[in-house]
Every structure is written in C-alpha cells, then in structure tokens.
Chains A and B, each alone.
Chain A
Amino acid sequence: MSYRPLDATKAAMLFQREWVSQLRKDITGGKKFAFVNADTPHELFHAMGMPLVTNQWWSAVIAAKQLSEHYLDRATEMGFHAHLPRYSSLPLIAELDGDPSRQPWGGLPTPSVLCARQSSDEHQKVFSLWSKATGAPLHLFSAPGVPDPAPRWWELARDKWEDLYHSDRLDLMVQEMHTLIAKLEDMTGRQFDHDQFAQYMHAINQQEAIFEDVDRMIAQAPQAPLRISEQIPNVMVPQWHRGSDWALQHAGTFREEVATRISDGHSVCENERIRMMWIGAGLWFDTDFYSAFEDSHGAVFVWSMYLPFAADGYIRTIGDDPLRALAARISLMNEQLHQPPWVNEWLVEQARRYRVDAALMLVPRHDRFSGYGSRFARRALEAAGIKVIEIWSDMVDRRDWNREQMQAHVAEALDAIS
C-alpha cells in the first residue's frame, strides 16, 4: 500500500502559501510586517496585529525550492566566508542579492521591524546587516546564560519556570518585552491589551496541549502512522500562527486525522522494523531523505523535535503575569534544543517514549550553535542502547550533500541493526 499524505498537511501548506500571498497584498496596501527569528516572542507581534515572517521558516522555504546553492554561492561572491552559519543567514543573502523575483513566491517585501535574540552570536550580526540593508529598525533580546542548567528541564518548565529560568533573567526579558511593546504601539497606533493577551496566551497553551495529545498518540501507536515530513508542517505552520483561530482549528483537525489513522491501523511502513529519530532541524533541501529507508530496511522516522517540543518548549502556566510566562517560554527556547545537558537528557527521554532504535543526528559543522552538544547527545543515546548515526551536513546547504553516499552510509549502519 503506497503512503497517502494527510489532508491536514495539504491544508497547512496551502494556508501558509496563501497567507504569504495575502501578506504581500496587504503590505502593498500599507500594512506593516515583522521579520523575526524563531526564538523571539512572536506572541507580542501577534497580539499587536502585526504579521510576522520567521527567518528560519523562510530559510527552509528557500532551501526547499532548491535556491540555497545560488544564494550561498552569492554569499561567497559578496565576501562572506564559506564557514559562516547558513540557516539563519540564507534569507539575508537573498535580500542582499536584490532580486526578489528569484525568491520563492516572488520574495518578501521590506519588513517594518526586525527582531532577534542573541542566543547565537551570529544573530545580531545577521540582523544588523539586514537592518542596514533595509532601514528597518532592529530589536534585540539579550540571552544571558543559565548558570545551573537542570538536565530534566521539561519536568520543571511548565510550572516551576521561575526557578528553572531564574528571576533575574526573566525580569530582564520582560523589561525588553515592554520596550518592544512600546515600539509596536508606536508603529501600529494600537494599545497593548493585557487582558486580551492573557486570553491569547491561554489559547496558545490550549494549542500546544493538542499537540501534546498528538505526540502521545504517535509515540504510543504500534507503528508510525505518519511521516515526520508531515508532522513538521502540521506543527510548525500553526506554530508560526500560534494561538490564532486557524492554528487551534488546524491543530484539532490534525489530531483527529492522526487518531483516525491510528485507529484504522494505518502505518507508514507495514514492515516497520527500525524506529528512528531525526535529531536537529530539518534537512530542508531533501525532505524525501526521511523516507529513504522504509522499503530497504523497514526503517521509519517516528520522531523529530518539532512535535514533542510543542508541549515541553511552549506550555507554561500563565498565572497572573502572562508576559512573564512568555519570557519563560522564550528565554531558553533554542538552547534547550541544542546544548548540554538539556538536549542530551531530553533526547534520551524522547527516544524512550518513542521506542527508538536508531537516531540520525544532523551535525552542521558551520552552524556551531546547533552543533554543540551533539557528542554529549550521542554518548547519552548510546548509553541508552540507541544506535546513533551522524549526518554531517547542513539544514539548508545542499552543496556538500551527496544523497547516494549518505544513503549508503546510513544503510550500512541500519544493516547492523536489522
């Protein structure tokens, strides 16, 4: 039986494409939009009615359209050296290239405001260049470190976040949020409504709780009911619009469809023998790679970080201070996914929940922020009895990607399991 994609996947992709198209029209008509990094408080822009485009999502779209080769070569021509991080900079290079018609869907208009968090060192550099090129003002969130990282952070993150992320860090982030809110009020002419924002934060928790259900269902299903290439858009497109009516409705539809699949006994690979996790961001220029081992080895990717992180990374008890709860969501968002001890302990827990046999770990040499901690993760997973296969590549740069060679490399490792 051939694999049939979910209807929800098509709906999510269509929604996002139409949203961008509408955004272009709106901007032509004078509407403002923000261009922001993934680990910034999108919630504030949403609350102020300012649409936003996420840097890493746009980077993935450029890569998926097989345009990264062109832009990364252009980056070298512009004088940027070849070892700089690519995932967070690909949209900047596309902007500096100056030909929107080459970009996906006709490119992005000039943003009205830029926002990044200084989690990784290149962020302020990349966004500063963007600001210079477009004239858009830049709002930076600082990213002080956590001195005593709790290995099992997800057990504390929902309710005990004040201790986990530290009051001084949260105070600073809330202060920086107030500064951004004031700027957005100036730009939009709207007042930030604290009561409405509290409701909105509850809606986001509700959305993430739906994803938590889906996560549990997929983890417990006898076999993988859908590919991770479908998990990702069904989680991340709503995540870019989190808390909106559409996002909540879509999350619900996705849950229903997954539940139906599981109850119908549908599986990605009837002969499922090896359950795998994909560690790291997506391989955006070759997402077919995720299904490359189904026929040959009965090996199926059951896990990618995006779905389970919806619960552990996003759900925060709101209490009487929604902005502070938002700071608790954002103030360590990226670090928990990439750095020790957060990432290694979380991955082992996830592998256990999903009954994983093998982990394919994307190690991007030139995106060090994402690559640090890979070896600790490898060590922890191997100690838990999981085979780890390193994939030395990049999320968006296909120039060094040799599909045949990589497939052979993985197949050889899987041969030893099956």
Chain B
Amino acid sequence: MTPQSAAKILDSAYAMRATGVCADMVGIFGEGFPEPLLRATGLQPVCMHLTPETDDACAGQGVSECIEPFVDHTVRRFLHRFATGWYQGLHAIIFCRDDTAALVAYQYVLEFRRLGLAPAGPRLILWNLVHAPHAHDFNMRQLAKLWQSLNTSAPTESALASTWQDECTRADALAALDADIGQNGAGISASTALTWRIAGRGGMDGRQHAELIFAARPSAPRPARAALRFGLIGSGVTEIALYRTIEAHGAIVCDMQPMTAAWPVPLPQQPTADAFLRAAASDPACARVVPPDIHTDTVLRRLTDAQCDAVICQLHPDDDVFGWDVPQISAHLHKRAIQFINLGFIHPVLDTAALNTISAALSHELQQRGLT
C-alpha cells in the first residue's frame, strides 16, 4: 500500500463514516464506550453521532414537534434518521449515559417508539458506565447486562487479548498523530490528524486503522512551520473546515476538543474486562469523571505542556458543561502568559460565510494581542 492510497482510504472512510449498516454492527452514540470489549465478541462498533451532514432525513412533523430547539444538533439529526428507519439493519444501538447528548437521544428514541413515531428495529441499550472508582462493581454488572441485551456471550480471554493488541496498535498510531501535530511544521496538520482519527470510527478495526495511519503519514503534506502554536478546546468539532480556518492563522499543536480527546477511551495495561472497565471509568476526557478536577486539570496540563502561544476556545450555543471551566482555564493560561482567545458560540455546522466571520474574528483577536 502506498502512502497516497492509504491516505485516500482514510479520507474516504472519514467522508463515508457509518453511512452503511449491517447486522453485525452495533451503533455507539456518545463518547465513553470501551469499544474493544465489543470487537472481541465479533461485533463491530460504529459511531452514530459523527455521521456526515449530507443526506439528512426528515421524519416529519410528529417527530420535529417533539424536539426542543435546544436539543444538540447531532441528537436532532440522529432522531430524524432513526425515526425514518435509517438504522434498521443494525444489531443494536448503545447510548452512553455519561455523554450528555447520548442520554437525551436514548430517552427520545425510546419515547418515539412508545408513541409509535419510530419503527421497531435494533435493540436500544443504555450503557450506564459510572465514571468513578468506587462504582466498579456497578460497572461490572452493567457489562453483564450488556452481553445479555446484545444476546451474545462475553468475549473469550484470547479474543480479548487479540483485540487489545490491535487496539494498542491503534493507540500507538493515534499517539503518533498527536506527536505529529505537536511538531509545528515538521509533522502533519491537526485537520489531517482529525480526519484520519475519525476515519476509524465507522467500524474499522484497530490494526487496520493503525496500519493505514502509519502507511499514510509520509504522504501527509507537512505544513510550513507556522508562526503561532495554538491549543484548541471547547465543544466537539467534526468540521474539518473549521480546523483549516484556524490553521490559516497558525498551527494547532494541542487538540483537546472532545472529538479528538475522548476517543478511543484509554486502554488498560492488561487485556481483561475488569481492566477495560477501570480504564474507561477513569477517563479524564469525560466531563462527568469523579473527582471532577481530573477533567479540568488534564486539559490545563496538556495545554501548558504544549507551549501554546494561544489557546482557542469555541463552544456550541447550547453548551452547558465546558463553559464552567472557561474562567479557570483563562486564568491559568494568563498566569503563564499564554493568550486565551474565546471565539464564543459557534454552530456545529458552518457555511463559508460563518467560516469567514470566524477567520476575521480570530485575525482581529491575534492582532489585538500582538500575535501577528
């Protein structure tokens, strides 16, 4: 495989992510699910909340009328698709309780079904992983319930060990991408890294994903060394166009937005179900992790270590979580002479005009701070 052909496969997987469904696929809505456990049973996890914006479904007025305007864009899109039977072929859909949007999505699809507004179809499963060390017994019970709900057996030790190996390879590849973007000018851009990361979420197994990334890396255009090193934080971004807009002003060397930071969940040292759950339950990328400081402290440490010139924050208009961290992040950065640029509310779907506005705002902020 040439670097160019590997890159092409990854780009294509990014563009097509989770648009096809089949009977051994299990949809995963939300962040925080330890996917290797599922892979080890032979089922294929596919991400439900990153599907492309194209080909949107509209389930009609009955469904629209039940969705408040402040429901997340990803949830709204998913609900319409669900109600039009988009996901009929899936084995099941798992919703991660500790992902805000996913809990709402679960409650609404259940209700649509109960009210006859959505068809019967795949099993709907609430994944109740509690992100706290004391909840391990509870979490193990959830795993037992999961196998029951999926009508499958728990993975064998050998299958789990093999999947763990594959996932370790994926983790190495993604770590290499992170290291690449940290090397301003010598590595690849954060937009490419995000594209290739998300490419793996449409059902690609760990080894294949890793091989593609390692194969494609030499093909990636090495951006010229940018004058400025940026950190990126805030709401989840899947719009590569937003990255490119930011990259026109500098290099994103520390990408802490959830679509990068929250997948895949951390791997354990040992390939046991017990260890997988412990690792997932202590994931600092989860905003609901206990104690709550773990989440914020991790963001602060990584931004500081990355030696950013400026940290760019962007938030969805319906953010009700990350905004609580903004003043302390801003203060922390200020103490270290790192500029904090808050772009404010940015809609998850952006057209050219919106991107131009963002670019102008960023340019203005950089000028104001003497960073141009």
Question: A: which residues have CB within 8 A of B?
Answer: 78-81, 83-85, 118, 121-122, 124-129, 138, 140, 142, 144-147, 149, 151, 168, 171-172, 175-176, 179, 339-341, 344, 363, 365-366, 368-369, 371-376, 379
A78 close to B327 (CB less than 8 A): yes
A141 to chain B, nearest CB (A): 10
A144 close to B138 (CB less than 8 A): yes
Query: In the complex, which residues of chain B have a beta carbon less than 8 angstroms from the beta carbon of A369?
Result: 320
A340 close to B107 (CB less than 8 A): yes
Query: In the complex, which residues of chain A have a beta carbon less than 8 angstroms from the beta carbon of B317?
Result: 83
Q: Closest 9 CB pairs between A and B?
A: A79-B327, A125-B324, A128-B292, A144-B128, A147-B126, A340-B111, A172-B138, A124-B292, A145-B97
Q: How far does the alpha carbon of A125 sit from the alpha carbon of B71 in the complex, in Å?
A: 20
A168 close to B134 (CB less than 8 A): no
Query: In the complex, which residues of chain A have a beta carbon less than 8 angstroms from the beta carbon of B293?
Result: 128
Query: In the complex, which residues of chain B have a beta carbon less than 8 angstroms from the beta carbon of A127?
Result: 292
**Chain B 100-118 per-residue mask, 1 if CB under 8 angstroms from chain A, else 0:** 1001101110110011000
Looking at the complex, which of B61-69, B218-226, B303-311 is the stretch in contact with chain A? B61-69
Residue of A nearest to B293 (CB): A128
A84 close to B320 (CB less than 8 A): yes
A144 close to B324 (CB less than 8 A): no
Interface assignment of B162: CB less than 8 Å from any CB of chain A: no
A176 close to B68 (CB less than 8 A): no
A376 close to B321 (CB less than 8 A): no
State which of B97, B141, B318 has its C-beta within 8 Å of the C-beta of A83: B318
State which of B67, B108, B288, B326 has its C-beta within 8 Å of the C-beta of A121: B288
A340 close to B108 (CB less than 8 A): yes
Residue of A nearest to B130 (CB): A142
Residue of A nearest to B72 (CB): A368
A122 close to B97 (CB less than 8 A): no
A149 close to B97 (CB less than 8 A): no
B70 close to A368 (CB less than 8 A): yes
B70 close to A371 (CB less than 8 A): yes
A124 close to B288 (CB less than 8 A): yes
A149 close to B323 (CB less than 8 A): no
Chain B contact residue count (CB 8 A cutoff): 52
Q: How far does the alpha carbon of A149 sit from the alpha carbon of B111 in the complex, in Å?
A: 10
A339 close to B107 (CB less than 8 A): yes
State which of B97, B134, B325 has its C-beta within 8 Å of the C-beta of A179: B134
B320 close to A376 (CB less than 8 A): no
A121 close to B66 (CB less than 8 A): no
User: What are 27 sample pairs from A and B whose C-beta atoms fall under 8 A apart?
Assistant: A79-B327, A80-B323, A80-B324, A81-B344, A83-B318, A83-B319, A83-B345, A84-B319, A128-B291, A128-B293, A142-B132, A145-B97, A145-B106, A147-B125, A149-B110, A172-B130, A176-B134, A179-B134, A340-B108, A340-B111, A363-B68, A365-B69, A369-B320, A372-B71, A372-B104, A375-B67, A379-B65
Q: How far does the alpha carbon of A24 sit from the alpha carbon of B103 in the complex, in Å?
A: 40
State which of B134, B138, B291, B324 has its C-beta within 8 Å of the C-beta of A129: B324
Interface assignment of B19: CB less than 8 Å from any CB of chain A: no
Q: How far does the alpha carbon of A344 sit from the alpha carbon of B110 in the complex, in Å?
A: 13
B132 close to A80 (CB less than 8 A): no
A62 to chain B, nearest CB (A): 19
Q: How far does the alpha carbon of A122 sit from the alpha carbon of B292 in the complex, in Å?
A: 11
B324 close to A122 (CB less than 8 A): yes
Chain B contacts with A in 238-294, Cβ cutoff 8 A: 287-288, 290-293
Query: In the complex, which residues of chain A have a beta carbon less than 8 angstroms from the beta carbon of B103?
Result: 145
Interface assignment of B315: CB less than 8 Å from any CB of chain A: yes
B68 close to A144 (CB less than 8 A): no
A142 close to B135 (CB less than 8 A): yes
A372 close to B107 (CB less than 8 A): yes
Chain B contacts with A in 134-148, Cβ cutoff 8 A: 134-135, 137-138, 141-142, 145
B130 close to A144 (CB less than 8 A): yes
A145 close to B128 (CB less than 8 A): yes
A376 close to B111 (CB less than 8 A): yes
Q: How far does the alpha carbon of A370 sit from the alpha carbon of B318 in the complex, in Å?
A: 14
Query: In the complex, which residues of chain B have a beta carbon less than 8 angstroms from the beta carbon of A124?
Result: 288, 290, 292
Q: Known: A125-B321, A149-B107. Contact between A375 and B130, CB under 8 A?
A: no
Give 8 new A-B contacts, CB below 8 A, not counting A128-B291, A375-B65, A379-B115. A80-B324, A83-B317, A118-B290, A144-B138, A171-B138, A176-B134, A368-B320, A372-B107
Q: How far does the alpha carbon of A146 sit from the alpha carbon of B124 in the complex, in Å?
A: 12
Q: How far does the alpha carbon of A381 sit from the alpha carbon of B157 in the complex, in Å?
A: 52
Interface assignment of B330: CB less than 8 Å from any CB of chain A: yes
Query: In the complex, which residues of chain B have a beta carbon less than 8 angstroms from the beta carbon of A81?
Result: 315, 319, 323, 326, 344-345
Query: In the complex, which residues of chain B have a beta carbon less than 8 angstroms from the beta carbon of A78?
Result: 327
Q: How far does the alpha carbon of A144 sit from the alpha carbon of B97 in the complex, in Å?
A: 7
Query: In the complex, which residues of chain B have a beta carbon less than 8 angstroms from the beta carbon of A79?
Result: 326-327, 330
Query: In the complex, which residues of chain A have a beta carbon less than 8 angstroms from the beta carbon of B344?
Result: 81
Q: How far does the alpha carbon of A365 sit from the alpha carbon of B65 in the complex, in Å?
A: 16
Q: How far does the alpha carbon of A362 sit from the alpha carbon of B305 in the complex, in Å?
A: 45
A280 to chain B, nearest CB (A): 13
B305 to chain A, nearest CB (A): 22
Q: How far does the alpha carbon of A147 sit from the alpha carbon of B123 in the complex, in Å?
A: 12
A147 close to B319 (CB less than 8 A): no
Q: Known: A78-B327, A84-B323. Contact between A371 and B68, CB under 8 A?
A: yes
